[in-house]
Amino acid sequence: MTGAGMPLTEAEARGDDERLAPRALARQREIVEAVQRRGAVPVADLAERFGVTHQTIRRDLRSLEERGALQKGFGAAFAAPGVARHVHDERQATLISVKRRLMEGLEEFLQPGSTVFVGLGTTFDDLHEVLSGRPRLLIATPNLTVAHRCALHTEATVYVYGGYVRRSDSCVLTLGEDPSRHRFKFDVAILGASAIDDEGSILEYDPLEVGLVHDVLRHSRKSVLVAHHEKFGNTAPHVVAALSDMDAVLTDRDPRDRLQQDVAIRDLRIVAGDESAPRRTGR
């Protein structure tokens, strides 16, 4: 059986009755490499890259899925078998107390009656504790843990974006043609990040996460990035935004020693120790 990390051999790329043409074999190898590298790739991107029709790419994906090389979804291909880079339970157990303090630092941004986008990541798993008792909130999220806990433990109205649930994760991956991505005007968008490099780029591993956030930022009055110190100074392939695009950045340690000196942060808030309120510092 072909593993997710193994290149396809010519024998493995044979059909039931005939061998694939060399060009199709090479294309399928490159598709697998692209999906492994990016986590997920839309069919349209693959068709444009290889100069073939969407139908040809779908046939390739169906063949590759049958051999266990990737997972085919509606409009995209996912890294087989669609697992997250780090599964939910592994990430949830990291810096639990820090993440809870970061959630407490969000209180002033969560005013009664607000429409709020909450992004992906286990940092937001305890957000419901901050929302408790705040009336008339609408929470829109692709984060199933946030949706479940807010629905059970707060008075908020909860909207969950539709799409595919990434295996071993609580993440819903939406596709670009989904009209729900343009449904709301947000008072505040609360975002996480997989990595933040030294140039101040906010980064993610999965391109299907990035598209939704881009749409959300275009429809948000205010944006807040929440990221603990281990996110800074790291890299991932896909750019979400820049630190300078955020109205506020909430973290647990001053990250400026991991950033180039010309990186601008509008409102840096550092939540440390058992302080009841985040400490502000300029840049």
20 band by pLDDT with thresholds 50, 70 and 90: low
- Residue-wise pLDDT for 148-162, tens only, equals 999 999 999 999 999
Of 268, 266, 205, which is closest to residue 240 (Cα–Cα)? 205
Which position has the token pair 């609580």? 170
Q: What residues does each domain of the chain span?
A: 22-79, 88-281
Dist CA 80 CA 64 (whole Å): 10
Highest mean pLDDT among 60-64, 114-118, 229-233, 235-239: 114-118
Task: Output the CA angle 211-144-129, nearest 5 degrees.
Answer: 115
Topology annotation, domain 22-79: Arc Repressor Mutant, subunit A (1.10.10)
Q: What's residue 54's pLDDT? A: 94
- Residue-wise pLDDT for 213-231, tens only, equals 999 999 999 999 999 999 9
3-state secondary structure 46-69: HHHHHCCCHHHHHHHHHHHHHCCC
- Residue-wise pLDDT for 188-208, tens only, equals 999 999 999 999 999 988 777
CATH code of the domain made up of 88-281: 3.40.50.1360
CB atoms within 10 A of CB 171: 22
Q: What's residue 1's pLDDT? A: 38
Task: Output the CA angle 271-221-240, nearest 5 degrees.
Answer: 70
- Residue-wise pLDDT for 49-99, tens only, equals 999 999 999 999 999 888 878 877 767 787 654 445 554 454 445 578 899
Q: What's residue 280's pLDDT? A: 64
